[in-house]
Amino acid sequence: MNIVNCNYERHGGSILDILNDAIVNSTALYDYKPRSLDNMREWFALKSSQQFPVIGIEDETGRLLGFASYGIFRAWPAYKYSVEHSLYVHKEFRHQGIGRALLTQLIAVAMKQGRHILVGGIDVENNASIGLHESMGFVYAGTIKQAGYKFNRWLDVAFYQLILSTPDNPQDG
């Protein structure tokens, strides 16, 4: 397995497939409609313009097995050191350590970029993701009940956070 920095040209279609599977078949993503390649192009452009990573793991043939990224947690300036992350593993490769490898790499990048808190919003029934996050030092920070509605039922989202030792010299403004 190889850790790679993803880009639209090489990975856009694969990330789209992984996301659309999550949209259609799970509550890992609170969205209704599959996304398009145009959505992916815009998503990658936004990540790039804000210097947010998109990290992937490929097998020896170059197939993308999963990806992780982060973005703005809240849009006010004082939140600049906090980011909300996402992590998705292709359905054929779950429970093989790929999520752990992605999250480990994402934490390392966040520290390099001087981030202070990683936040994950996880459906309360996603025990695998909750277990992964807890095993990596994330702590439960609260639940918003009935935050989403999908598959004809209300969904609760639990928030987990990891406080990093960075940045070295945080500043206002």
- Class assignment of domain 2-163? alpha beta
Per-residue model confidence as pLDDT tens digits over 113-137: 999 999 999 999 999 999 999 999 9
Answer yes or no: pTM beyond 0.85: yes
105 in Cβ contact with 3 (< 8 Å): yes
Say whether pLDDT at 173 is over 90.
Answer: no
Report the mean per-residue pLDDT for the chain. Answer: 97
Residue ranges per domain, the chain? 2-163
CB count in 10 Å sphere of residue 125: 13
- The model's confidence at residue 52, banded by pLDDT at 50, 70 and 90, is very high
| Alpha carbon distance 154, 145 (integer Å) | 8
